[in-house]
Structure 1
Amino acid sequence: MIDACPLGPARILLITGRIDRHARELIKAFGNVGAEVHTAGLAEIGFDTGSASGLAIPHFGGSLPDAVCVRTMDAGSFEQVTRRLGVLHALTRLAVLVSNDARAIENCVDKSMTSFLLARAGLPSPRSYAVESRTEAARILAGEDGPMVLKPLFGAQGKGLKLLGTADDLPAAEEIAGGVYYLQRFAGVETAGRWSDVRILVSAGRAVASMRRQAASWITNVKQGAEPLPMPPEGDLEALAVAATEAVGGDFCGVDLLRDAAGRAQIIEVNSMPAWTGLKKATGCDLAAIRARDLLARVESRRAAGASRPLSAAE
């Protein structure tokens, strides 16, 4: 059984693989809004069926946090990642506010599921395929009129992307990460020797920051050398970013979009654990403060409704 205790400062568990710039900004931001924040990696949180909650969480003894803020997840074996996501699922089942929760993270980490959910929601996104056969991937490429982008299913930061014109461009089967061919129609447009797209950060159902990323290459990730630039508000893109975040079940996401050769907006990817160094440079916004305020507002709303905090029976 999990009992309740009197309300006090909101207790936040920040999930992060390491204390990097983003983690330090979040620790400061949560402190500035009066929360008590502790950090841990998911690898440090154990299952313990003998405890009241069934979990063993560093810094919390037998109690539970008011909210979990997921900044990053470390890479690991299939078994390790499955167990770590299981921890997030368990926290949600224990009525702890988890942001983003395991479901949203799973929907975004797997690009094929992201594409599926965007299509099911009727949102504009380049046609995408995910198959496990090189023969089938070659058939798909042969049936397309233009180039396609081959992406690692679980990739990030623009790593491992390949632009394919024909089936002859397909890498050897042993070079395909995880044995999955995720193919997405290429929608980028080159203008005066430059390529660009847009990153919009969505928090609590609204677009809070936008930037244009410009690069000499069709790969426009800031980590790959793209320049983050300020941009005026574009209401249609912001609305699509909010809708895309809702489609994957997220509440804090970075959404990548662009306009194709016909000027139509296209959603390219949704990131459930977005970095914001480029956005901060382009906008000057304190995005960690926005993240902390929005999450704390949800905590306070839940606490006002329930007027209690979940704690173990031992307390």
Structure 2
Amino acid sequence: MSANAIASANTSASPSGPRVAIMTDETGWHTSRLKRALRERGAQGRCVDLADCRIDTTWAAHGLVIPGYGRGLPDAVIVRGIAGGTFEQVTVRLGILHALRELGVPVYNDARAIERSVDKSMTSFLLHRAGIPTPPAWAGESVPHARRIVMREAAAGREVVLKPLFGSQGKGLVRLGGGESGCAALPALRAYGGLAYMQRFVAPVSTPGFDWRVLVVGGKAVTAMRRVSEHWVHNVAQGGRCETQPLTPELAQLAERASAALGLDYAGIDLVPCGATDGGAQVIEVNGVAAWRGLQSVTSFDIAGCIVDDLLTRRLGYVYTPREAVA
């Protein structure tokens, strides 16, 4: 089915503006904000679970079934969440996003970008390849090799952080090496999918410690916050406290480079202070399905509105008249 035919079918079915599918496995604060921002711009937002979508080459010429869109397709997609599942289930869910892109539907962020950011080892590789300051990282299935890395780092007075490859919200992080008692033992890797992804630990520069979260939308850093915690893990889900943070040129540039390295439409970039690098920071993680409730609590910047504006104007070419201009 041609892109023109899809566009024609969708336009005739959506006289009130673009129809945007918000892909999510749970509705709540974020999806409400996105739907409101879409509605204020004359667009329509509908929450869809990727688990309910399917490939069906008998249903329509394009071969997809997206609940709520009949035999047509949405005009654009915002990916807000992808439910976990078996390897096969997740493969097909990502395949739906790949298929939408192949059909000419803007997907924000698309499957390839999400795959890059969800896989922490690939994130480290791409950041390193782009010359972006980021802690040294290792990923492999060999337990003896992982132990040798920990021992080598410990002998140099350093520590490493063992992380779940697909983890989020600071869960499952373990510090290894260093300390007066010698090298901490590498835990069983079964809980980590049989793989050791490790990143060199960056010691805090203050007490309590902190890191930065910078939000990048459409290639431009738009707002930031500081996450402060007595614990070495600063995620809000682990008790970190959100504080206002001016968006300095140094933080903005690093965050924008990190987002570009992974090809993301929007991203939450996590950085830690480090006086040994240009700009005084290193990128430790890149979030391709970034939450922003904590960030929104310490800034007046309209995050959902910015995301929707970028999708509609840059990716979809949609021109709308703001309500205040109409009034």
CA contact (8 A) 2:119 2:166 kept: yes
Deviates more, 1:256-265 or 1:131-140: 256-265
CA distance in 2, matches of 1:46, 1:79: 13
Change (3 A) 1:300 1:47: closer
Alignment of 1:1-315 (within 5 A): 1-2=1-2, 3=5, 4-5=7-8, 6=11, 8=15, 9-50=17-58, 51-144=60-153, 145=156, 146-165=158-177, 167-174=183-190, 176-191=191-206, 193-260=207-274, 262=276, 264-301=280-317
When the two structures are superposed, what TM-score results if normalisation uses the length of structure 2? 0.89
1:170 partner SS: coil
What amino acid does structure 1 have at the position aligned with 2:239?
G
Could you tell me the percent identity over the aligned residues? 46
CA contact (8 A) 1:189 1:261 kept: no
- Can you list the C-alpha shifts for 1:45-89, whole angstroms capped at 9, x where unaligned? 110012211101111111111110000111111111011000000
Shift of 1:259: 1.5
Shift of 1:30: 0.8
CA contact (8 A) 1:212 1:228 kept: yes
CA distance in 2, matches of 1:236, 1:90: 37
Shift of 1:233: 2.2
- Can you list the C-alpha shifts for 1:25-51, whole angstroms capped at 9, x where unaligned? 111111111101111010011100122
2:72 partner SS: coil
CA distance in 2, matches of 1:233, 1:214: 16
- Can you list the C-alpha shifts for 1:114-164, whole angstroms capped at 9, x where unaligned? 000001111110000001111110011122220000000000000000011
Shift of 1:302: 7.3
What amino acid does structure 2 have at the position aligned with 1:178?
G
Where relative contact order (Cα < 8 A, 6+ residues apart) is larger, the structure is 1
Shift of 1:103: 0.4
Change (3 A) 1:262 1:289: same
Deviates more, 1:49-58 or 1:1-10: 1-10
- Can you list the C-alpha shifts for 1:256-306, whole angstroms capped at 9, x where unaligned? 001225363100000000111111111122211111111111244279xxx
2:323 aligns with none
Consecutive unaligned residues of structure 1, counting only runs of 5 or more, are 304-315
Equivalenced residues, count: 302
When the two structures are superposed, what TM-score results if normalisation uses the length of structure 1? 0.92
CA contact (8 A) 1:111 1:153 kept: yes
What amino acid does structure 2 have at the position aligned with 1:177?
Y
Alpha carbon RMSD of aligned pairs, Å?
1.7
